[in-house]
Amino acid sequence: MLQGVNLACVRGDRELFRDVSFSVAAGGLLQVRGPNGSGKTSLLRMLCGLSNPAAGEILWNGISVRSRDGGYYADLTYIGHSSGTKDDLTALENLQISSALAGFEITAAQAVEALRRMGLKGREMLPVKVLSQGQRRRVVLARLLVCKTALWILDEPLVALDVSAVDLMRNLLEQHLQQGGMVVMTTHQEIEIAAAAISQLQLS
Amino acid sequence: MFFWIIKRDLLLAIRRQSDVLTTLFFFVIVVSLFPLSVGPEMNLLRTMAPGVVWVAALLASMLSLGRMFANDYSDGTLEQMLVSPQSLSLLVLGKATAHWLVTGVPLVLMGPVLGIQYDLPTDALFVLTVALLLGTPVLSLIGAIGAALTLGLRGGGVLVSLLVLPLYIPVLIFGAGAVEANMSGIAFDAHLSLIGAFLLASIVFAPWAAAASLRVSLE
């Protein structure tokens, strides 16, 4: 269970938000909403421990994520704005390396299988730099298929995806939530996800 | 994990060979300029050789420091490393090792060849190679701290040299000192032992310091 308690975020001398509290339990989806510049990405980066909250505490199963000993990072998959892929490496190499980095060593066959499910059949051995924006995004999102983590933190996962890929993502998210996973995501696109518990967090 | 990082960085280096070759050619050219400019005065060249080779090695190794984390930073891979369950220090050690394999090892191999230009005797060439072999990993490890501290800063390239070059001085003194000692016929093993000690100390402390700097730089 992921909890945020009275979080505040300050950028420079501007306060983006304060007293933000939420909790996400198994099977729960938290959608973070708000206009551009309202601190959605800052909040997600905070949840990943990439920056520290100006006030408040983030708890994973009751243990502060800042202590780094609650096993939080083994349970977390973060997909941010920047792709986290290397242009000079092939889609296959990118997927294998990024999942190894996340603690899941996969074989080439598993990686090919995941890329095919993401609709990248025949593109596995191409360097990522020759792929289109949407295809690169699919390479990144393929990590969700191979890294069996409980908590997904996704920053605008649907950007640059076409209709069929958005459908694919919806299925993926629903399946993950049904299996008791947790998702925290931001999106500007309207997407109907069936989940046991959906909560919205509005940042102004 | 450690090996995955090394494997990835080596793969990237193979795909983009110009980065590797720039460092090596810089080293070769700087070292070769001195005999051309000073003239064929053998005794002078022999005295200068260890210092020139080492200074050139420091500068060449520094030349590629900016790229150590910058690419990972801009494409988001570094964020992924920070949210990885693996120890960040170990990842940094992997990156420094890869940096050494890509930039340090060519210098070690090229050092004795360039030493011939300076008419160094064979055993001095051998000492030079051993000193470079022990010393260049220290350059990559200390450089990792500088690269991590200046990550994402404007004008980081100049700043990194100001931060890192003073820390390179001990390696320079004892690295060049070992070769000089050998040429003047006194024992050189103390110099090499000291470089070895720097190497061990930087393997322990540098990844930890660089990891802490990375966390600060990415905030």
Q: Residue A200's pLDDT band (boundaries 50, 70, 90)?
A: confident
* Cα(B130)–Cα(B149) distance, integer angstroms: 30
The CATH class given to the A1-75+151-204 domain equals: alpha beta
Strand arrangement, sheet containing A197-202: A76-79, A151-155, A182-186, A28-33, A197-202
Measure in Å the smallest separation between the Cα of B60 and chain A Cα atoms.
Answer: 24
Nearest to A80 among B1, B8, B76 (CB): B76
Nearest to A101 among B75, B84, B219 (CB): B84
B122 at interface of A, judged by CB pairs closer than 8 A = no
Instruction: Indicate the range of A82-86, A106-110, B46-50 predicted with least confidence.
Output: A82-86
**Helix (H/G/I), strand (E/B), else coil: A33:** strand
Alpha helices in chain B (DSSP H): 2-15, 17-38, 42-63, 66-74, 77-82, 88-99, 105-117, 122-149, 156-183, 189-218
Phi, then psi, of B130 in degrees rounded to 5? -65, -40
The winner for highest mean pLDDT among A70-79, A158-167, A192-201, B142-151 is B142-151
Q: What is the pTM of this model?
A: 0.90
* Cα(A87)–Cα(A129) distance, integer angstroms: 5
A177 neighbors A193 (Cβ within 8 angstroms)? yes
A174 neighbors A110 (Cβ within 8 angstroms)? no
Largest CA distance in chain A: 50
Q: Where are the domains of chain A?
A: 1-75+151-204, 86-149
* Cα(A180)–Cα(A1) distance, integer angstroms: 11
CB-CB under 8 Å, A80 with B75:
no
B1 at interface of A, judged by CB pairs closer than 8 A = yes
Per CB-CB distance under 8 Å, the chain A contacts of B13 are: none
B214 at interface of A, judged by CB pairs closer than 8 A = no
* Cα(A91)–Cα(B139) distance, integer angstroms: 33
Give the pLDDT confidence of A50-101 residue by residue, as tens digits.
Answer: 888 889 999 998 888 887 777 888 889 999 888 788 888 999 999 999 888 8
Each as own residue / partner, the long-range contacts of residues A116-121 (CB below 8 Å, 24 or more positions apart, any chain) are A117/A142, A117/A145, A117/A168, A118/A142, A118/A145, A118/A165, A118/A168, A119/A164, A119/A165, A119/A168, A120/A91
Averaged pLDDT for residues B156-170: 89
Q: What is the ipTM, given to two decimal places?
A: 0.87
Whether residue B197 is predicted with pLDDT greater than 90 in this model: the reply is yes
